[in-house]
A = this chain, B = another copy of it.
């Protein structure tokens, strides 16, 4: 594997930092591999030695966002027990971290939806980063005072992670100053989501809940 020696690690890091810098400055398409290599003062082929493709640079970006999201949210999560508040903290964090990459993130989501792309958040190459993303929502739930029915508890983190993906998709299309519209979306939707979760226990909705859970259970299992 690439980047095993001290020197290799340094070169790898240099290339990644340069790439992220350029992504922020110019977006995805305008950032050519040639430009990354040039600014990092390495040969084009060398960039490809460390990152098999331009898309693999993006995987590295995902991993970093993930990591920072957890770090940034931790102190606030330690202080809050209200489900809406906790949800809001982590979702706001991910948007805040990605903020400098707004333009970049747009082109990014391209590959995200392609199942054969190594960048698809649903694909096998992203399993690890997805697992970590979902794990954060396990913490969000575990630390909250809201009562969640046991059957739902198992599925909820994955659903909340999907919800977060939805927010990110919205943010990508949001050009309001300081992503105000996305902030507002988070305000309103975390409230709705928390409300729905608390309603999930009431009797009239039991059939709906059972049906929904059955659906989720069925869809698990023979995923490619």
Is the beta-carbon distance between B192 and A208 smaller than 8 angstroms? yes
Q: Which residue of B lies closest to A103 (CB)?
A: B116
A172 in contact (CB, < 8 A): yes
- Residue count of chain A within 8 Å CB distance of chain B: 43
Is the beta-carbon distance between B111 and A116 smaller than 8 angstroms? no
In the complex with contacts A176-B222, A219-B181, A116-B107 CB distance below 8 A:
yes
A18 in contact (CB, < 8 A): no
Secondary structure type dominating chain A contacts: helix
Q: Separation in Å of the A53 CB from the closest CB of chain B?
A: 13
A39 in contact (CB, < 8 A): no
Q: Separation in Å of the A76 CB from the closest CB of chain B?
A: 24
Kindly specify which of A9-17, A143-151, A183-191 makes contact with the partner chain: A183-191
* Distance, CA A199 to CA B199, complexed state (A): 13
Q: A112-B113, A185-B219, A189-B215 are in contact. List 18 more A-B contacts (CB 8 A).
A: A107-B116, A109-B113, A109-B114, A110-B111, A110-B114, A113-B113, A115-B172, A115-B173, A173-B223, A174-B224, A176-B222, A184-B218, A184-B219, A185-B215, A188-B211, A188-B215, A188-B218, A204-B204
